[in-house]
């Protein structure tokens, strides 16, 4: 019985060792687990650093780009500036005017969205980026990084200015910038949102059916009326990325 028990323990230990090795191999390929430090040439290590930083940019950036679109162009939503709708803090882009069908345009700008994304993503990257996990031959690295977000009609670009230099075996490589691009039409849907807001501000109403026909059905626009407000949801007809916002209404006593 003792021999059988010892054999069972050795079998279990062997299985655990095999599982750990397998997880490590898979982890280094998928960036779940950092590779062994010092492995590979300077170019190999720089490739690992590049992949690590761009993975962080993709993971962190995507979440906040989707969030800012669902929250009407704002990540920070002070009290009374939004309406809770389907678990999202949907910002008012036009505020109620007392005893009037029209509203006051909040004047959201692309520059404001870029600034909020830059500040929030920059802070979030602190918990993600650690290049020393991917190279022990770093000879120079910036003390801090600077993130630039550019919202274009059909995509959102993130560029991180973060000089990293790796020296090994008389070979020195340096990367100054790391970038990713998301195929999200945030800029284009922002333009559509402004068309809606401008009509609500000047006329007090927006006919989404007429607008969609004028734009040759490129967009799908939904209008909901949770009393006393209006919620607009915009998307490309063939896409699933949504920009939504609220128009503040007036409660009738």
Q: Residue 12's pLDDT is what?
A: 64
Angle at Cα 73 formed by Cα 68 and Cα 79, nearest 5°? 95
Q: Residue 7's pLDDT is what?
A: 54
Confidence of residue 31 (pLDDT cuts 50, 70, 90): very low
Q: Which of 19-28, 149-158, 190-199, 218-227 has the lowest mean pLDDT?
A: 19-28
Whose tokens are 């995507």? That residue is 62
Better-scored residue on pLDDT, 192 or 140: 192
Is pTM beyond 0.85? Reply is no
Q: Residue 4's pLDDT is what?
A: 55
Compute the distance between CA of residue 238 and CA of residue 217 in angstroms, rounded to an integer. 10
For 137-159, what is the mean pLDDT?
Answer: 94
Helix (H) or strand (E) holding 46: helix 42-70
Q: Residue 9's pLDDT is what?
A: 53
Alpha-carbon torsion (185, 191, 192, 197), positive or negative: positive
Q: Residue 29's pLDDT is what?
A: 47
Whether the CB-CB separation of 133 and 146 falls below 8 Å is answered with no
Confidence of residue 40 (pLDDT cuts 50, 70, 90): confident
Mean per-residue pLDDT of the chain: 89
Q: Which of 95, 94, 96, 120 is nearest to 193 (CA)?
A: 94
Confidence of residue 47 (pLDDT cuts 50, 70, 90): very high
For 195-219, what is the mean pLDDT?
Answer: 97
Q: Residue 36's pLDDT is what?
A: 45
Q: Which of 77-81, 110-114, 165-169, 216-220 has the lowest mean pLDDT?
A: 165-169
Q: Which of 180, 189, 219, 205 is nearest to 73 (CA)?
A: 189
What is the maximal distance between C-alpha atoms in the chain? 89
Tokens representing 141?
Answer: 């690295």
Whether 18 shows a pLDDT value over 60: the answer reads: no
Whether 109 shows a pLDDT value over 60: the answer reads: yes
Confidence of residue 169 (pLDDT cuts 50, 70, 90): confident
């Amino acid at each position: 019985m003792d021999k059988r028990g010892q054999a069972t323990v050795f079998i279990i230990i062997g299985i655990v060792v095999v599982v750990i090795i397998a997880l490590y191999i898979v982890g280094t390929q998928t960036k779940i687990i950092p590779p062994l430090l010092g492995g590979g040439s300077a170019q190999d290590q720089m490739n690992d650093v590049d992949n690590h930083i761009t993975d962080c940019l993709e993971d962190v950036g995507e979440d906040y780009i989707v969030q800012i679109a669902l929250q009407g162009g704002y990540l920070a939503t002070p009290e009374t500036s939004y309406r809770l709708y389907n678990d999202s803090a949907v910002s008012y882009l036009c505020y109620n005017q007392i005893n009037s069908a029209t509203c006051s345009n909040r004047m959201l700008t692309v520059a404001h969205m870029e600034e909020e994304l830059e500040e929030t993503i920059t802070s979030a990257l602190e918990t993600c980026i650690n290049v020393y996990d991917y190279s022990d031959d770093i000879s120079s690295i910036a003390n801090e990084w600077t993130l630039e977000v550019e919202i274009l009609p059909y995509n959102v670009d993130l560029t991180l200015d973060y000089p990293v230099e790796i020296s090994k075996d008389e070979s020195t490589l340096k990367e100054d910038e790391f970038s990713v691009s998301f195929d999200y039409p945030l800029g284009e849907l922002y333009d559509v949102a402004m068309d809606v807001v401008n009509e609500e501000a000047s006329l007090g109403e927006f006919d989404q059916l007429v607008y969609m026909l004028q734009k040759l059905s490129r967009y799908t626009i939904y209008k909901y009326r949770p009393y006393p407000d209006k919620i607009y949801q915009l998307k490309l007809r063939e896409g699933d990325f949504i920009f939504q916002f609220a128009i503040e209404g007036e409660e009738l006593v």
